[in-house]
A and B are shown apart, each in its own frame.
Chain A
Amino acid sequence: MEQILQQLLNGISLGAIYALIALGYTMVYGVLRFINFAHADVFMVGAFLAFFLGQNLPANSIASTILVLLAAMTGCALLGTLIERLAYRPLRSAPTLNVLITAIGVSLLLEYSGQLFLGANPRTFPPVYPSAQLTLGGVILSGNQLLVIGVTAALVLLLQLVIYQTKIGAAMRAVSLNPDAARLVGINVNAVIAFTFALGSALAGAGGVLYAINYPSIDPLMGLMPGLKAFVCAILGGIGNIPGAALGGLILGLVETFVGGSEASTWKDAVAFGLLILILLFRPAGLLGKPLPEKV
C-alpha cells in the first residue's frame, strides 16, 4: 500500500512537468493549428537560464528558487514571442506543412547553437533549492516533489484564471474557434497569438527549471525526450484542449512511474507510446478532445 502511494506521488510529480510542457503545445495548436516543435527547446533554454543565474545565487534557498523560476519564465516568454514573430508570423497564410518544417528548423537551430555556444557536455545544475524530505507514515514526500507539484498546481490555476476569467483569455478562445470572426470584432489576432506563445513558453521555462532541479544534469539536447513525452500528453488529452493536456501529463507520469517500478521497467517508454497508439485508436480526438468539425 505504502509503495503504491509512493509511486503515485512520484508519478504525479513527473506528470506535472510533462503537463507544464504539454500546455504550451496545446495552446499554440489551439490558436494556430500546428505543432510548435521548437517548444521543447524553449524548455531547454529555461533550464540554462536558471543554470547561469542560479550559479550566482545563494544555494539551498527558497528565494533563489523563486528568482530562478521567474527569470526562466520571463526569458522563455520573450524567446517564444521572438520565435513566433520571426519564424511563424511571416508564414501566416502559408500551408501548415511549411510552418511545421519551419518549426523543426527553429528547433534544430536552438539545439545546435546551444551545442555551439554552451558545449555539448552535460553540466551540473546548481543546488538552488534546499533538499529536504517529509516522511508521512512510510511515504516519503521529497522537497523536490513538493516544489514540482506546488508550482505546477499554482501555474495551472493561474492559467485557468487567465483563460476563463480575462478578456485576453476570451480572445484566445475566440481566435481558437474562428480567427476570421475574431478579426471582424476588432481583435488583433497577431497580438493574441503572440500572447499565447508568451504564456506557453513561460510554462515551458518553469518546466525546464523544475526538471533540472530534479535531474540536475543539463545539456542542449535535454528537451528532446521530455518534449516528445509532453507532445504525447497533449495528443493523449486531446490537442487544443487545456485540461486535456494537464490530464495527459498526469496519466503519462503515472504510467511511466508504475511501469518503471515494475519488472518491465525497461519498457516504460514503449508502454507510454503504446498507450498513445491505443487511446488514439479508440478516441482519435484524444481523451477530452471533441472531434473537430470540418473547417469551413
Chain B
Amino acid sequence: MLTVENLAVAYGAINALQDVSFAIPRGGIVTLLGSNGAGKTTTLRTISGLVKPRGGKIFFDGEDITRLPPHRIVQAGLCHVPEGRMVFTNLTVADNLRLGTWRQPDTARTAANRDYVFSIFPRLQERLHQLAGTLSGGEQQMLAIGRALMGNPSFLMLDEPSLGIAPKLVQTIFEKIIEINQRRGITILLVEQNASLALDISSHAYVLESGHILTHGPSTALRADPRLRAAYLGE
C-alpha cells in the first residue's frame, strides 16, 4: 500500500535520511522506532509532502506521490497526524474538525465520519464550541486524530501520539488506535518513543538509527532481540 524506496533527505548540508526503504501492506499496524533525532519525523514529513526528498521514491496505492503537494496526498487517502499535535489552537474544536474535510464534497460521508469521531472520542463532542487551545494535551491529541479521520483516510501516520500525555490517556488513545485499525480498516504507521507500547500493538516494526533502517521484522521478534532490548526497551 505504501512503498518507500531509497529515500534520501537532507536539511542543507545535514543528511537526515539515507537509503531508507520499506513497504507497508494494507490493513496492519506497523511501527517505526528510533531514538531522538533518528529521522522518524523527517520520514513522515517527507511521505506527506512537506519535505521534498533529495532522492528516492514514494508510492501510495501504486501511484507515485513523491512530488505531489501535501493536499493532493491527503486527498489520495494518506493522512499524517503530526508530532506535537498541531491542532489549530485559535479555532474551535468544530472548526478544526470541519477543516479536516477540506474539498470533500460528500456530505453524507462527512456526517458519518463526524459521528464516528464522536463515538470514539465523546470528549470532543462535549468540547465542540471550545477553542482547541483550551483543551488538555490528551484532548488535543484526540482532536488531531479526529481531524485526520474527517478526511476519510485509508492510511494514517501518527507521530508520537503519547508525547506529553498523562499515562491514563495514553492507554485510551492506544486503544482507539487499535479500534480505528480493526473497525475502520485503516492501515497505521505509528512512530513512537514508547517502544514497548508500540511493539505491543503493531505486527511489524522498523528501527531507524541516524537516518537509516537498522533492522526490521515482526514486532515479537524485535522485542526478543537483545540489542534492541538494551537500546529501546531499557532492559
Question: What residues of B have a CB within 8 angstroms of the CB of A189 in the complex?
Answer: 71
Given A183-B71, A185-B74, does the pair A173, B88 have CB atoms closer than 8 Å? yes
Chain A: which residue is nearest B144 at the CB level? Answer: A181
Q: Say whether B99 contacts A183, CB under 8 Å.
A: no
Counting CB contacts under 8 A, is A134 at the interface? no
Return the contact of B102 from the options A180, A187, A190 (Cβ within 8 A): A187
**Distance from A88 Cβ to chain B, minimum over Cβ atoms (Å):** 17
Return the contact of B86 from the options A167, A170, A184 (Cβ within 8 A): A184
Q: Which of A254-274 contact B (CB under 8 A)?
A: none
Q: How large is the interface on A (under 10, 10 to 19, 20 to 34, 35 or more residues)?
A: 10 to 19
Interface residues on chain B, number (Cβ under 8 Å)? 28
Return the contact of A174 from the options B69, B75, B91 (Cβ within 8 A): B91
Counting CB contacts under 8 A, is A230 at the interface? no
Q: Say whether A180 contacts B50, CB under 8 Å.
A: yes
Q: Say whether B86 contacts A186, CB under 8 Å.
A: no
Question: What residues of B have a CB within 8 angstroms of the CB of A171 in the complex?
Answer: 99, 102
How many A-B residue contacts, CB cutoff 8 Å? Answer: 73
Return the contact of B95 from the options A170, A183, A186, A187 (Cβ within 8 A): A170
Given A180-B82, A183-B50, A184-B86, does the pair A170, B99 have CB atoms closer than 8 Å? yes
Q: Say whether A187 contacts B71, CB under 8 Å.
A: yes
**Distance from B12 Cβ to chain A, minimum over Cβ atoms (Å):** 13
Counting CB contacts under 8 A, is A101 at the interface? no
Chain A: which residue is nearest B80 at the CB level? Answer: A184
**Distance from A183 Cβ to chain B, minimum over Cβ atoms (Å):** 4
What is the CA–CA distance of A296 and B82 in the complex, to the nearest angstrom?
A: 13
Q: Which of B52-80 contact A (CB under 8 A)?
A: 69-71, 74-75, 79-80
Chain A: which residue is nearest B85 at the CB level? Answer: A181
Chain A contact residues, majority secondary structure: helix
Question: What residues of B have a CB within 8 angstroms of the CB of A174 in the complex?
Answer: 88, 91, 99
Counting CB contacts under 8 A, is A177 at the interface? yes
Chain A: which residue is nearest B157 at the CB level? Answer: A184
Given A170-B98, A186-B75, A188-B71, does the pair A181, B88 have CB atoms closer than 8 Å? yes
Given A174-B91, A185-B151, A186-B75, does the pair A180, B86 have CB atoms closer than 8 Å? yes
Given A180-B86, A181-B82, does the pair A186, B74 have CB atoms closer than 8 Å? yes
Return the contact of B100 from the options A178, A183, A186 (Cβ within 8 A): A186
Question: What residues of B have a CB within 8 angstroms of the CB of A182 in the complex?
Answer: 88, 99
Residues of B within 8 A of A (CB): 48-50, 69-71, 74-75, 79-82, 84, 86-91, 95, 98-100, 102-103, 147-148, 151
**Distance from A186 Cβ to chain B, minimum over Cβ atoms (Å):** 3
Question: What residues of A have a CB within 8 angstroms of the CB of B103 in the complex?
Answer: 186, 188
Given A167-B98, A167-B99, A170-B98, does the pair A184, B70 have CB atoms closer than 8 Å? yes
**Distance from B149 Cβ to chain A, minimum over Cβ atoms (Å):** 11
What is the CA–CA distance of A162 and B212 in the complex, to the nearest angstrom?
A: 47
Residues of A within 8 A of B (CB): 167, 170-171, 173-174, 177-178, 180-190, 296
Chain B: which residue is nearest A296 at the CB level? Answer: B84
Given A170-B95, A170-B98, A174-B99, does the pair A186, B89 have CB atoms closer than 8 Å? no
Given A170-B95, A185-B102, A187-B102, does the pair A177, B88 have CB atoms closer than 8 Å? yes
The 25 sampled A-B contact pairs (Cβ below 8 Å) are A170-B98, A173-B88, A173-B91, A174-B91, A174-B99, A178-B88, A180-B50, A181-B82, A183-B48, A183-B50, A183-B70, A184-B48, A184-B70, A184-B79, A184-B80, A184-B81, A184-B82, A184-B86, A185-B79, A185-B100, A186-B75, A186-B100, A187-B99, A188-B102, A188-B103
Q: Say whether A185 contacts B95, CB under 8 Å.
A: no
What is the CA–CA distance of A185 and B147 in the complex, to the nearest angstrom?
A: 7
**Distance from A241 Cβ to chain B, minimum over Cβ atoms (Å):** 11
Given A177-B88, A178-B86, A178-B88, does the pair A184, B95 have CB atoms closer than 8 Å? no
Question: What residues of A have a CB within 8 angstroms of the CB of B82 in the complex?
Answer: 180-181, 184
Return the contact of A186 from the options B50, B81, B87, B102 (Cβ within 8 A): B102
Question: What residues of B have a CB within 8 angstroms of the CB of A190 in the complex?
Answer: 69
Q: Say whether A186 contacts B71, CB under 8 Å.
A: yes
**Distance from A170 Cβ to chain B, minimum over Cβ atoms (Å):** 5
